[in-house]
Structure 1
Amino acid sequence: MKSGFSRTAAPAANSRHPRGLVSSISVWMARLIVGAVLMGLILVAGTAVRVWQVARIDNYTPADAIVVLGAAQYSGTPSSVFEARLYQAGRLYEAGVAPMVITVGGKQEGDLYTEAASGKRYLENAGVPSDHILAVETGSDTLRSIEAVADAMGARGMSSAVLVSDPWHSLRTRTMARDAGLRAWTAPTRTGPAVYTRESQFHGIARETGALLWYQLTHFSADFSYTAGQ
């Protein structure tokens, strides 16, 4: 008795199997890609929310020192961004938050003054006693500045700091300071170009979100001329 099955039927069925396998792999690859993109978006969005949340914190808990992160200066005159930070530091000093103010920041090629020195001179003119101001004249970006401050504070037996910078810069500076071994919290400026407009606020949050993610991934700074021209 002859079989009712054709000898050519089996190969035809087998020929469909590789295409089905490729299709199944493609579906899983697409799912993995979509999942990775969604996880990335959640991570970015979550970091942006944390940048915004910490920017709103004003912690006036007493500390060993008030640390002012540097910004641009012009022949010893602080830029508007830097002046806003120094003004906030002066207010904190007058309120008795800390007995010492630390200014930090080096200088660009061709500058006569460092950011730290110009900041110290501004505070002296504002009435802060010179012997209550420490100028740490090194640091070309946030990470190097924080590390220089941590070393200077450690050498003087100080371990806690309230950090003064722009609101959106707060979370990254606090993260770096704590990584450097300091007990640190933030009381950012509420004046100056960083907070003038919605556009500047959005730009600051977006920039700091990327910079913080980069630091957490690599432990390198990502300032990209953060203070240049400010």
Structure 2
Amino acid sequence: MTLEAELPEFTPEDDGADGPEDRADGPRRRRGRGRWRRSPWFAIPAGIVAGLLAIAVLTPLAVGARIWHQARQDERPRSDAIIVLGAAQYNGVPSPTLKWRLQHALDLYRDGVAPAIVTVGGKAPGDNYTEAGAGRNWLVSKGGVPASRVFEVPVGRDTLESMKAVGKEFDRHHWSSGVIVTDPWHGLRSKKMAEDSGITAAASPTRSGPSVQTRDTQFHYIVRETGGYLSYVLLGKSVQVPDETIKRIHIDPSASPSTSQAPSSSPPPPSSPSPGR
């Protein structure tokens, strides 16, 4: 005897699909998601991130290399004036850093690099003297430069403010070119600011002082100046930092630059020291 059983009829609804089209769509959607995961679109953000990281790393390195290269240059073209950037002064007496700059400017003047010297720098609240005034007095009284050949610009608590004031002084005298005297690592930034103030600038740095004492201090100042240069170029701002003479070394400011290397345990009471630039 044969038993017959009626099996239930299979319909598309039992498979959770509406029909052959839906079953065909399912695999296509899954294959589409697979292609989307493998799409090169995901490589674009990675490339952008890699590019930004490269810029973030290589840009400071490139600027640091330019600062190092500029620091090694001693540019002495015939110019209209020598510009001495300010540093701290002690009740009218130039600090060692400022004195080294003044002595270097005096040497350039005697070598005929320029017929005039411009001293730069304002004063902190409570000071009796400006950096520019202290520098001018030293050049006239100690350096023997005729008073008519030294011009003070008693303005500025940072390089940018000072350079803008120097640009106006150059316009007043119808000057166009200047040789900047400052620390070696400051040459690139100061030249850029001078040029942006309408001055055809060169840099003849000093070779004495705290900023050139050791490789560690040199590295410190290169890093600092790299940040300062990028801050100016990208944001248009200057960086104000503690004066390196006050921060690094205390020397009797009455000593001459050539003999003032020995530390002094009792420096004279300073007027509020201005930030080094």
User: TM (normalized to structure 2)?
Assistant: 0.75
Partner of 1:70: 86
Asked whether 1:55 is paired with 2:102, we answer no
Q: Which of 136, 148, 154 is equivalent to 1:137?
A: 154
SS in 1 for 2:231: helix
TM-superposed CA distance for 1:186, in Å, is 0.8
- % identity of equivalent residues: 41
Match of 1:128 in 2: 145
Report the structure, 1 or 2, having the larger helix content. Answer: 1
Please state if 1:198 is matched with 2:215. yes
Give yes or no for contact 1:67–1:163 (8 Å, CA) kept in 2.
yes
Matched, 1:212 2:229: yes
Deviations along 1:96-129, one digit per CA (max 9) or x if unpaired, are 1111110010000111100001111121212222
Q: Measure, in 2, the Cα distance between the counterparts of 1:46 and 1:229.
A: 24
Question: What TM-score do you get using the length of structure 1 for normalisation?
Answer: 0.89
1:94 aligns with 2:125: no
Give me the whole-angstrom Cα distance separating, in 1, the residues matched to 2:134 and 2:120: 10
Q: Which residue identity is paired with 1:131?
A: S
| 3-state SS in 1 of match to 2:174 | coil
> Aligned pair in 2 of structure 1 residues 15, 229: CA closer, same or farther (>3 Å)?
same
Secondary structure, counterpart of 1:155 in structure 2: helix
Structure 1 residue aligned with 2:171, among 129, 132, 154?
A: 154
Q: How far did residue 229 of structure 1 move?
A: 6.8
**In 2, Cα distance between equivalents of 1:220 and 1:228:** 15
Match of 2:186 in 1: 169
| 1:159 and 1:183 in contact (8 A); partners too | yes
Query: Partner of 1:163: helix, strand, or coil?
Result: strand
Contact 2:102–2:135, Cα closer than 8 Å, also in 1: yes
Post-superposition shift, 1:31?
Answer: 2.7
**1:22, distance to aligned residue in structure 2 (A):** 8.9
Taking the aligned partners of 1:38 and 1:175, their CA distance within structure 2 comes to: 25
Distance in 2, matches of 1:168 and 1:26, equals: 43
Paired residue secondary structure (1:63) = coil
**For residue 267 of structure 2, what is the aligned residue in structure 1?**
none
For the pair shown, the structure with the greater C-alpha radius of gyration is: 2
Q: By how many angstroms is 1:215 displaced?
A: 0.8
The answer for the alignment partner of 1:114 in structure 2 is 130
2: distance between equivalents of 1:43 and 1:176?
Answer: 19
Aligned counterparts of 2:103 and 2:167: Cα–Cα separation in 1: 22
What runs of 5+ residues in structure 1 fail to find an aligned partner? none
Number of aligned residue pairs: 228
Aligned CA RMSD, in angstroms, stands at 2.6
Q: Which amino acid aligns with 1:28?
A: I
* Cα distance change, pair 19–117 in 1 and its aligned pair in 2 (3 A): farther
Task: Structure 2: state its 5+ residue gaps.
Answer: 1-19, 244-273
* Paired residues of 2:240 and 2:275 also in contact (CA < 8 A): no
SS at match of 1:121: helix
* SS of residue matched to 1:128: coil
The 5-angstrom pairing of residues 16-55 of structure 1 reads 17=33, 20-21=36-37, 26-55=42-71
Q: Which residue of 1 aligns with 2:275?
A: 228
Deviation for aligned residue 1:80? 1.8
Distance 1:27 1:141, change over 3 A: same
Give the deviation of 1:224 after TM superposition.
3.8
CA distance in 2, matches of 1:19, 1:137: 69
CA contact (8 A) 1:80 1:193 kept: no
